């Protein structure tokens, strides 16, 4: 090993011999580095690195863990032993031969949860966190065939808070490798370059708490003549000068006030001393608040707001965001790599200039034949009515106060807080554009910033371009979007469930799961069916403006309305902003700005082209689409924004039709399908020859279970915990994130309620999580809540079920996940009842309760997992539903709930009667009054009084089912959860039917 070191230029080193062909460690360094050895073994080398004059000394440990399971615990105990010294910045790098989460392995047998948990616990005990990396995700690979290939992230670097603070931009790079099955790790402690450039103006939230700031804004604004653009530019210059003066006077102020307060606290108390103490405390708290606001604005945590002294958390979170979003190297289109700032900026600008350049649209005649004329003239009149000041102000209030501002640096907070000063000019500018066709002028310039779509992106396709528009442009677009939103349900196909009021993402999830369940159980028939899950490449960025225009005009939107919308989109200029440098401006000719309030709705008009083609082909020869049951609706495709899944016959003709539709749609709209990332799932009766034929035509990869659809598993088998393991890992990932260590107890409460308990909500709205799994999640939350500090377990002073009680009842108001899960599932049943025309309701009704209502339905045989849990949760609905009396013809007197304010809502609990009859028999239909003599002869006096208080309409109408938990009669998850909380029994035993209570 010494010869290798010397040949590589490392004259100094520590070598530990191998045991035969196993093991062996070596640490090498050059003459200009000062290293002192602390300890070593066959599994580690621990040294101190002299930081010299530039930084403090820090500790480095090279670590190798045994690949054999019986030695794992010894390795983790060694790591804990090394971690007892917490006095130095420390980083540990090497081959740990273990993964932290299941997502760090692909292929082979899933890793045991206990082994991963042991690794996580060892790191937590040592207060070590993953440093992160740049490069390929996996560091170890085995197997040269797809069926046997296994990849894992076994090599990593972990560091304590001291090392991360010492090297805030330190980075580990996964380098390419060809000889070994492990990739080399490169640790770079100085990855960030020193930059000297003029910073861009940015309005600071802490300015608003300065005593005379509003006066300064008013004087500058009112003394500046001209347009709002001129006033904003002059205010920028004035505030920059003012900030310099303020900062100069506040340097070291907090430290000075702290020392003064400490000195005063040691003196004897008199009126003068107490007055000084109070004054210094007020000033010191103001400085603390200023720091907290400063870092909160940069942290951009939507769930935690200023207050309760979370400055340390905001600071660390902001530093983590900067670290994650910093681009230090980039792969170019020619395969080469650049680390130079100018090269990165130039490459990014060139990439997006090309991406936003129109390629033209194809012949739209055939596609437009499938677009229906849906907008009547009265809707156009409503859309084109004069915009008002109230609409402008409402649009401004809807914007996030400190969301990233556009090029001029003013966030929505400035306009919201000082509306009484700037409001008149804002209204004049916005209404001039909306009502009079005036130009945006310089305010429509847009900065494009790059947000990573994946961890550790390496090329530009792995970034999401977010457009930072000026607030005034957003206000105009938001005012237009608010009007457009109200008519989206009229003109967007039922297969699209995104951004349309009244439709939910869970609708598509339930339909997709039911379709795939049908495919798996389809074992007879000569023709198979297929589900093709498409991956759309840069969907928003490729939308052709001309295509949207023609689609909207075909829907019969007025030309003036269409032109107003396109004017908000087409006249913007762009500049890519990377690593703080703004590239050259360019004019786009296609694409939708991600961050523009109008963009989601405009993309739906684009996707209508695909819906039109699918429906036309299906109506012509029926080879597109599939059914979940014989009498059910034909489902051709499902859309959620750009997430798309198509259904059709698994034949040569069906595959050619799908390919033809996608080709025509792409030529007309600009959309591009990435077939190599798309996948296909076949029904069980599809023969292998047909599968090969279809795969050859479409060029997609086969899938045995469609993996995930809209982020949820498409197959839930007997091992349900394994299906939802990703949820638990999300919990652990968020809790073990180093930033949470800096939360106050109040911050912890908000973190649990707004972040942790929100993680499984989407999954729980479609699936019933096992009770044991919910208990594990709650135990994880409880440990986080009670722990004294990072790595120190605390005493659980109260049972978690008591913590889930309301605050007025002595609890903390945390959710019981099992009960909340059942309440969410009950909502799906309510939607089946009250939205019978929705696609999801029609699919499930045709298959499971075609001749009855949802409440009266039975479980049936060979039911899907989703139907079982929705049907099982109907017990909650049965408990909370009641009838609003109309003509009384549908309501049974004793067995239905129709009398309000009864402890047990059904009269069968209060009156013994073998014969039931309808409420209509209790009403005198000629006078529309209750028949008192019948009531008094049938019911006790207290029930008669309650019935007589039920109002009857003058004109008879139908009886209506309502939810008694809300005054409006509409179901809410909140009231259903309260209903479950009022029952002390286990929620699944209460809410789920006997036939399925053992889930």
990 falls in which pLDDT band (50, 70, 90)? Answer: very low
Closest Cα to residue 44, out of 20, 11, 80, 9? 80
Q: pLDDT (tens digit, 9 = 90+) per residue, 53-104? A: 666 889 999 999 888 877 888 899 999 999 988 888 999 999 999 998 888 8
Helices (H), 787-897: 800-803, 817-834, 839-848, 865-872, 874-880
User: Mean of the pLDDT values across residues 666-689?
Assistant: 91
Please report whether residue 273 resides in a domain. yes
Which of 300, 324, 348 marks a domain boundary? 324
576 DSSP β-pair partners: 448
Please report whether residue 683 resides in a domain. yes
Query: Between residues 988 and 395, which one has the greater pLDDT?
Result: 395
> In this structure, are 652 and 760 located in the same domain?
no
Residues with Cβ within 8 Å of residue 762, at least 6 apart in sequence: 505, 506, 711, 712
pLDDT at 988: 47
pLDDT at 639: 92
> In this structure, are 238 and 117 located in the same domain?
no
Nearest 5°: phi and psi at 48?
Answer: -105, 135
Are the C-beta atoms of 666 and 672 separated by less than 8 Å? Answer: yes
User: Mean of the pLDDT values across residues 220-229?
Assistant: 91
Q: In this structure, how many other beta carbons lie within 10 angstroms of the beta carbon of residue 999? A: 14
Give me the DSSP letters along 207-222.
GGGSTTHHHHHHHHHH
Query: Between residues 559 and 860, which one has the greater pLDDT?
Result: 559
Please report whether residue 408 resides in a domain. yes
User: Mean of the pLDDT values across residues 443-449?
Assistant: 87
> In this structure, are 794 and 835 located in the same domain?
no
Highest mean pLDDT among 195-199, 621-625, 733-737: 621-625
> In this structure, are 180 and 318 located in the same domain?
no
In the DSSP assignment, the letter for residue 182 is B
In whole angstroms, give the CA distance from residue 17 to residue 7: 19
Cβ neighbourhood burial of 718 (10 Å; 0-12, 13-18, 19+): exposed
pLDDT at 162: 86
- Which structural domain range is residue 457 located in? 364-713
Query: Between residues 170 and 993, which one has the greater pLDDT?
Result: 170
> In this structure, are 667 and 746 located in the same domain?
no
What kind and span of H or E run contains 654?
helix 652-669
3-state SS assignment for residue 280? helix
195 falls in which pLDDT band (50, 70, 90)? Answer: very low
Identify the weakest region by mean pLDDT among 398-412, 598-612, 980-994.
Answer: 980-994
Please report whether residue 630 resides in a domain. yes
Residues with Cβ within 8 Å of residue 837, at least 6 apart in sequence: none
Please report whether residue 258 resides in a domain. yes
Helices (H), 69-136: 72-82, 113-125
Please report whether residue 733 resides in a domain. no
> In this structure, are 225 and 243 located in the same domain?
yes
In the DSSP assignment, the letter for residue 442 is G
pLDDT at 996: 37
6 falls in which pLDDT band (50, 70, 90)? Answer: confident
Q: pLDDT (tens digit, 9 = 90+) per residue, 867-881? A: 998 998 888 888 888
Query: Between residues 532 and 309, which one has the greater pLDDT?
Result: 532
User: Mean of the pLDDT values across residues 692-705?
Assistant: 87
- Using the predicted structure, report yes or no on whether residue 466 has a pLDDT greater than 60: yes
Q: pLDDT (tens digit, 9 = 90+) per residue, 153-183? A: 999 999 988 888 888 778 888 887 767 888 8
pLDDT at 989: 45
Q: pLDDT (tens digit, 9 = 90+) per residue, 199-211? A: 678 888 888 888 7
Cβ neighbourhood burial of 562 (10 Å; 0-12, 13-18, 19+): middle
Query: Between residues 483 and 147, which one has the greater pLDDT?
Result: 483
How many structural domains are present in the chain?
5
> In this structure, are 832 and 802 located in the same domain?
no
**Token pair 């969410």 in the structure block, residue:** 824
pLDDT at 819: 92
For residue 875 the two structure tokens come to 């017990």
Are the C-beta atoms of 828 and 982 separated by less than 8 Å? Answer: no
> In this structure, are 801 and 843 located in the same domain?
no
Which of 265, 300, 324 marks a domain boundary? 324
> In this structure, are 469 and 550 located in the same domain?
yes
Cβ neighbourhood burial of 464 (10 Å; 0-12, 13-18, 19+): middle
What kind and span of H or E run contains 244?
helix 228-250
Are the C-beta atoms of 157 and 187 separated by less than 8 Å? Answer: yes
Closest Cα to residue 981, out of 822, 775, 774? 822
- Using the predicted structure, report yes or no on whether residue 986 has a pLDDT greater than 60: no
In whole angstroms, give the CA distance from residue 448 to residue 595: 10
Q: pLDDT (tens digit, 9 = 90+) per residue, 824-852? A: 999 999 999 989 999 999 999 999 999 99
Please report whether residue 998 resides in a domain. no
3-state SS assignment for residue 765? coil
In whole angstroms, give the CA distance from residue 35 to residue 42: 19
Closest Cα to residue 510, out of 423, 638, 649? 638
Helices (H), 311-357: 311-325, 341-355
CA distances from 521 to 514, 715, 791, 864, 868 (A): 11, 13, 49, 10, 16
- Using the predicted structure, report yes or no on whether residue 196 has a pLDDT greater than 60: no
> In this structure, are 312 and 419 located in the same domain?
no
Closest Cα to residue 702, out of 89, 301, 147, 188? 147
Q: Where are the beta strands (DSSP E) in 132-274?
A: 134-135, 140-142, 150-152, 155-159, 171-174, 185-188
> In this structure, are 755 and 701 located in the same domain?
no
pLDDT at 454: 74
For residue 731 the two structure tokens come to 């919990």
In whole angstroms, give the CA distance from residue 153 to residue 98: 8
* Arithmetic mean of pLDDT over the chain: 84
Which of 784, 815, 846 marks a domain boundary? 815
Q: pLDDT (tens digit, 9 = 90+) per residue, 10-57? A: 888 888 887 766 778 889 888 888 889 999 998 899 999 987 766 688
In the chain, the percentage of residues whose pLDDT exceeds 70 is: 88
Torsion sign over Cα 588, 592, 598, 601 = positive
> In this structure, are 605 and 704 located in the same domain?
yes
In the chain, the percentage of residues whose pLDDT exceeds 90 is: 34
Are the C-beta atoms of 108 and 724 separated by less than 8 Å? Answer: no
Please report whether residue 986 resides in a domain. yes
Q: pLDDT (tens digit, 9 = 90+) per residue, 557-613? A: 999 999 999 999 988 889 998 877 888 899 999 999 888 899 999 999 999 999 999
Identify the weakest region by mean pLDDT among 61-75, 313-327, 393-407, 778-792.
Answer: 313-327
Residues with Cβ within 8 Å of residue 497, at least 6 apart in sequence: 503, 504, 505, 507, 508, 638, 639, 640
- The CATH number linked to 90 is 3.60.10.10
Closest Cα to residue 99, out of 150, 156, 61? 156
- Using the predicted structure, report yes or no on whether residue 994 has a pLDDT greater than 70: no
């Amino acid at each position: 090993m010494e010869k290798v070191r010397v040949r590589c230029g490392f004259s100094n080193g520590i070598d530990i011999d191998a045991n035969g062909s196993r093991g062996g460690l070596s640490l090498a360094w050059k003459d200009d580095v000062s290293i002192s050895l602390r300890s070593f073994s066959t599994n580690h080398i621990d040294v101190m690195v002299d930081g010299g004059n530039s930084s403090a000394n820090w500790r480095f440990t090279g670590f190798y863990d045994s690949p054999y399971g019986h030695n794992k615990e010894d390795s983790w105990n060694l790591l804990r032993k090394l971690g007892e010294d917490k006095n130095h910045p420390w980083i540990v790098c090497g081959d740990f031969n273990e993964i932290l989460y299941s997502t760090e392995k692909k292929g082979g047998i899933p890793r045991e949860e206990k082994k991963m948990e042991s690794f996580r616990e060892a790191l937590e005990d040592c207060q070590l966190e993953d440093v992160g990396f740049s490069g390929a995700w996996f560091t170890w690979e085995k197997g040269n065939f797809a069926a046997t290939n296994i990849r894992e992230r076994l090599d990593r670097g972990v560091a304590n808070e001291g090392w991360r603070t010492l090297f805030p931009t330190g980075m580990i790079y996964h380098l390419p490798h060809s000889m070994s099955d492990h990739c080399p790790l490169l640790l770079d402690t100085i990855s960030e370059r020193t930059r000297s450039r003029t910073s861009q103006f940015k309005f600071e939230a802490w300015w608003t708490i300065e005593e005379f700031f509003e006066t300064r804004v008013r004087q500058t604004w009112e003394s500046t003549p001209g347009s709002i653009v001129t006033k904003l530019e002059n205010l920028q210059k004035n505030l920059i000068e003012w900030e310099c003066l303020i900062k100069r006077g506040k340097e070291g102020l907090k430290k000075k006030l702290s020392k003064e307060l400490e000195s005063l606290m040691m003196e004897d108390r008199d009126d003068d001393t107490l007055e000084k103490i109070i004054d210094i405390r007020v000033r010191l708290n103001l400085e603390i608040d200023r720091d907290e606001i400063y870092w909160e604005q940069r942290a951009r945590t939507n769930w935690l707001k200023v207050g309760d002294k979370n400055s340390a958390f905001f600071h660390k979170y902001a530093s983590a965001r900067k670290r994650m979003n910093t681009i230090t190297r980039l792969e170019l289109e020619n395969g080469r790599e650049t680390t130079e700032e100018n090269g990165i900026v130039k490459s990014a600008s060139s990439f997006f200039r090309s991406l936003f350049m129109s390629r033209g649209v194809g012949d739209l005649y055939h596609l437009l034949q499938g677009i229906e004329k849906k907008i009547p003239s009265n809707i156009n009149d409503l859309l084109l009515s004069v915009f008002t000041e109230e609409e402008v102000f409402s649009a401004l209030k809807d914007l996030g106060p400190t969301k990233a501002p556009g090029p001029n640096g003013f966030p929505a907070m400035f306009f919201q807080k000082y509306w009484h000063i700037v409001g008149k000019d804002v209204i004049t500018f916005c209404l001039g554009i909306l009502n009079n066709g005036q130009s945006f002028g310089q305010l429509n310039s847009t900065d494009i910033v790059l947000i990573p779509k994946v961890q550790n992106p390496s090329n530009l396709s792995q970034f999401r371009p977010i457009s930072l528009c000026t607030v005034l442009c957003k206000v105009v677009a938001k005012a237009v979007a608010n009007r457009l939103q109200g008519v989206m349900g009229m003109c967007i196909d039922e297969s699209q469930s995104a951004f349309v009021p009244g439709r939910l993402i869970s609708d598509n999830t339930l339909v997709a799961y039911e379709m795939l369940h049908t495919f798996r159980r389809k074992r007879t028939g000569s023709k198979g069916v297929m589900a093709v899950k498409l991956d759309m490449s840069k969907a928003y960025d490729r939308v052709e403006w001309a295509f949207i225009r023609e689609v909207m005009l075909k829907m019969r939107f007025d030309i003036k309305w269409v032109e107003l919308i396109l004017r908000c989109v087409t006249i913007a200029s762009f500049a890519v902003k990377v690593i703080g440098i703004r590239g050259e401006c360019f004019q786009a000719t296609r694409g939708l700005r991600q961050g523009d309030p109008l963009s989601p709705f405009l993309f739906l008009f684009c996707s209508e082209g695909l819906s039109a083609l699918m429906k036309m082909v299906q109506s012509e020869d029926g080879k597109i689409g599939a059914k979940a049951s014989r009498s059910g609706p034909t489902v051709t495709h499902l859309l959620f924004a750009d997430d798309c899944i198509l259904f059709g016959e698994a034949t040569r003709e069906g595959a050619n039709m799908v390919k033809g539709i996608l080709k025509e749609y792409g030529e007309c709209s600009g959309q591009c399908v990435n077939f190599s990332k798309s996948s296909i799932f076949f029904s069980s009766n599809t023969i292998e020859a047909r599968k090969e034929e279809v795969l050859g035509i479409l060029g997609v990869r086969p899938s045995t279970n469609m993996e995930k659809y809209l982020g949820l598993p498409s197959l839930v088998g007997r091992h349900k915990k394994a299906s939802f393991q990703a949820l638990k890992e999300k919990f652990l990932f968020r809790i073990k994130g180093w930033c949470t260590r800096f939360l106050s107890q109040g911050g912890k409460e908000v973190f649990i309620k707004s972040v942790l308990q929100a993680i499984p909500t989407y999954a729980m709205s479609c699936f019933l999580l096992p009770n044991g799994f919910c208990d594990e999640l709650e135990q994880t939350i409880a440990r986080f809540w009670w722990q004294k500090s990072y790595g120190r377990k605390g005493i659980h002073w109260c049972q978690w079920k008591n913590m889930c009680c309301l605050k007025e009842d002595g609890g903390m108001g945390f959710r019981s996940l099992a009960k909340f899960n059942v309440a969410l599932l009950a909502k799906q049943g309510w939607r089946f009842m009250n939205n019978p025309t929705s696609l999801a309701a029609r699919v499930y009704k045709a298959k499971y309760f075609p001749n009855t209502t949802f409440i009266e339905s039975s479980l049936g045989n060979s039911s899907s997992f989703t139907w079982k849990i929705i049907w099982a949760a109907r017990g909650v609905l049965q408990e909370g539903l009641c009838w609003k009396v109309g003509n009384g013809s549908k309501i049974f007197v004793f067995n239905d709930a129709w009398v309000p304010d009864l402890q047990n809502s059904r009269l069968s609990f209060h009156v013994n009667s073998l014969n039931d009859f309808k409420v209509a028999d209790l009403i005198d239909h000629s006078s529309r009054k209750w028949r008192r003599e019948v009531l008094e002869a049938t019911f006790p006096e207290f029930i008669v009084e309650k019935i007589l208080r039920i109002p009857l309409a003058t004109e008879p109408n139908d009886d209506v089912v309502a939810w008694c938990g809300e005054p409006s009669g509409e179901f809410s998850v909140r009231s259903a959860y309260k209903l479950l909380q009022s029952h002390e029994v286990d929620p699944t035993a209460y809410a789920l039917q006997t036939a399925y209570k053992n889930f």
